Homo-oligomer: A and B are copies of this chain.
């Protein structure tokens, strides 16, 4: 499986496990003092955060399912693998602490790509003060896969769940919807490298949103700490799925105003009609914005979270009794919101 020729770029197959681990470690900053034992032993050892609960999540990205190496650069793959996990912590209002990275590497993967992949992950980790304390490296006889586990901390009674929404709460989303889908659609059509000079500002931003999603950690943490939201969930599987999950977990219904959805300009540009863009905004994942239920008495506080974080928020509907179901209101006409958009293809 070795390259054979001296000219060929070295691949993972040329390196061996120890060199791959060394390559990862070389990119890491010194760990904080509460990391008692980091990478290099049978397991990592960490001092728990005092007076906090521990929050844990794991998410895998697989080549050909969650990204495509033909149009997602290695650094973005690493960045996204951590981002999707941090987004889950954001939705719980938890502050991240440590990450574990499990890599399944095709032997033909260039070592330079692996180095970039780790660099992308480390870049986002540094931004959010996440320490990579361990992981695993194995060969993959199939696609490249990355499985990241992240732990975080949250104060007791200040954890944001999916199940706290109550009738009368208002539903908000952060940011805009459909941007990542527009970016993905452009990348699928044109591939890398991106020549931004020919693109609108909105589409440039949308491509970046797909490649480097920004987990809304500060928003989630402050919303949880100030009790500005009664329930929260990230939009990793799209808004329609999030609404279905959050209402089911809370035992409520919802009325969503289709015309209020903050459809990203790039989605309008890329998907043509307003209707198509709205459908994308409801069904597309990858935006990693947050859906929050906000009690009316907490609205001011919620608006303050948006101001503090500089993130736009949009009221998209209201929580109703379970008996009235989950309804999408568009131009005055009510239809049941297609709940599923469940996709084992992701």
Interface residue ranges, A against B (CB under 8 Å): 12-13, 15-18, 20, 36-37, 40-49, 52-60, 62, 64-66, 88-89, 91-92, 94, 98, 100, 102, 104, 107, 133-143, 145, 147, 149, 151-152, 154, 156, 159, 161-163, 232-234, 249, 342-346
Contact = CB atoms under 8 A, between A and B. Distances in A.
A17 B53 contact: no
A63 to B, nearest CB: 8
B41 A141 contact: no
7 nearest CB pairs, A to B: A142-B142, A43-B57, A48-B48, A42-B91, A147-B147, A149-B149, A42-B88
A116 to B, nearest CB: 19
A104 B16 contact: no
B136 A147 contact: yes
Contact of A44 (B57, B100, B135, B162): B57
A136 B344 contact: no
Copy total for this chain: 2
Contacts of A54: 45-48, 54
B159 A344 contact: no
Contacts of A234: 42
A115 to B, nearest CB: 16
21 contacts: A16-B342, A20-B344, A40-B249, A41-B92, A43-B88, A43-B94, A44-B56, A45-B53, A46-B53, A57-B134, A60-B138, A60-B147, A62-B139, A62-B141, A65-B138, A65-B140, A66-B138, A102-B102, A140-B142, A140-B143, A142-B143
A18 B20 CA distance: 36
Contacts of A40: 162, 249
A137 B17 CA distance: 26
B142 A58 contact: no
Interface centre among A52, A142, A234 (most CB of B within 10 A): A142
Contacts of A12: 344
Given A43-B55, A47-B54, A53-B48, A344 B139 contact: yes
